[in-house]
Structure 1
């Protein structure tokens, strides 16, 4: 959890620069990618983080370090964001990398806005999350730091297969396994889903069933969860024949699994416990 100084620094910086990032149009893709690269560089160099967050060091010196880090080819807005961040006070040196990553995700969100794919990205992230729920071995390997990032990306795409995901979804899914950041893979995907939901002003409700939901079922679920969450919701319907029947419903980190396969698994555990 970030300390008070970091929360203030992050909020003030984002309030100041979000409008520029929002209006960057097609460049938001490049900006987001460059910020992800900087995030990784910071995560792997504690001395660099200390140099950029040292309150006793003149801001001009820290900006000079940033220029050396990102070079002259970086997008001007990336330089502006980094210069702003190093001028702030941080509770912990690692919090600056968190702020850079947040800006990177924002860049991807604004690019999705620019390409009219924001809702699609949110749905695809929810589909990826849902697919991984029943694949504990796969998702563990996706955040296994002893495995190379190249191997993790290869595993990711073996899972995605021929899914026609947007390039924003693919990039965010790659980022989650390239830049592990001491997080579980599923935790990062859920964080991204939550950020997109807040960005759109609604909650994502992922409903997994063996057969497609009817229009009436979707409308009923919207009514139930709109009342429950007290704001608009979007129903992401995922069809997975292996659940056999019933529904698995996920809202944020909360999962209610009433599928037939879940009930059978529970029965199996109960029988083993009483045997």
Structure 2
């Protein structure tokens, strides 16, 4: 969990630079890839993280470190993002890598917007999540920190190449296994799904169920949420057998959880509170 200073730094930086990053359009693909590489470098180089987040160190010195790191090969927007981040205060040194990764995902979403593929990528990430739920051995290997990142990426490509996935979906999925960042693979894919859902706002309704929705259920949910939003919405169906039954519905940041698991958890909390 990030400290208050890091949350403020991350939010203010992204709010400030989002319009500029969005305006890079097709260049956002290059920027996102550069930011993912920087995330990995930071994750594996604690002294660099400390140097870039040391509050006693002048910002000019930190920018000099960035210049030495990039050697003039970075996109100007990448440098602007990094310069902004190193000028802010962070609760912990490693939090700056989280912020860089956030920007990397934002760049990929803006590239998806520029290439009219945002909805496609969101759907594909959900399909990938559902597919991996039925492939426990593959899933385990994709977050095996004893294996090399190259072998994990190779495995992902062996399983999913030829499936017609958008290159943005492929890049995000490969980033998730190339740099594990102390997360399980499906957790990262779900995090990406949530980010795309928030990015699309009320145009995307993510419905998680234990079994696939029927066409009639999808049509009914589409009618209900299109009427609420005042415009057509897309139902993003995610299959997760672990919810047992019921539905979890996410619209932007709002989540309504009526799954069996959620009800059992609520019952457990109620019983526990009653015995205290």
Distance 2:18 2:238 in 1: 33
Aligned counterpart, 1:272: none
Distance 1:111 1:100 in 2: 17
Aligned counterpart, 1:121: 121
CA drift of 1:155 comes to: 1.4
Distance 1:43 1:117 in 2: 30
Alpha-carbon distance change, 139 to 145 in structure 1, aligned in 2, over 3 angstroms: same
SS of aligned partner of 1:26:
helix
Contact 1:213 1:237 in 2 (8 A): no
Alpha-carbon displacement from aligned partner over 1:34-76 (angstroms, at most 9, x marks no partner): 0000000000000000000000000000010011112201000
- For 1:75-224, what aligned pairs fall within 5 Å after superposition? 75-202=75-202, 203-206=205-208, 213-214=214-215, 216-222=216-222
SS of aligned partner of 2:207:
strand
Provide runs of 4+ in structure 1 moved above 6 Å. Answer: 224-228, 252-255
Alpha-carbon distance change, 72 to 238 in structure 1, aligned in 2, over 3 angstroms: same
CA drift of 1:162 comes to: 2.1
What is the count of residue pairs matched by the alignment?
251
Aligned counterpart, 1:41: 41
Contact 1:28 1:108 in 2 (8 A): yes
Distance 1:48 1:234 in 2: 43
Distance 1:82 1:20 in 2: 14
SS of aligned partner of 1:30:
helix
SS of aligned partner of 1:21:
helix
Contact 1:207 1:236 in 2 (8 A): no
TM-score, normalised via structure 2 length: 0.82
Deviates more, 1:197-206 or 1:169-178: 197-206
Distance 2:154 2:84 in 1: 36
SS of aligned partner of 2:25:
coil
Aligned counterpart, 2:274: none
Alpha-carbon distance change, 40 to 17 in structure 1, aligned in 2, over 3 angstroms: same
TM-score, normalised via structure 1 length: 0.82
Give unpaired runs (5+ residues) of structure 1.
Answer: 259-275
Contact 2:207 2:238 in 1 (8 A): no
Deviates more, 1:5-14 or 1:136-145: 136-145
Distance 1:250 1:133 in 2: 17
C-alpha RMSD of the superposition: 3.0
Alpha-carbon distance change, 256 to 186 in structure 1, aligned in 2, over 3 angstroms: same
Alpha-carbon distance change, 63 to 132 in structure 1, aligned in 2, over 3 angstroms: same
Distance 1:227 1:125 in 2: 26
Distance 2:17 2:221 in 1: 37
Give unpaired runs (5+ residues) of structure 2.
Answer: 262-276
SS of aligned partner of 1:204:
strand
Alpha-carbon distance change, 207 to 162 in structure 1, aligned in 2, over 3 angstroms: farther
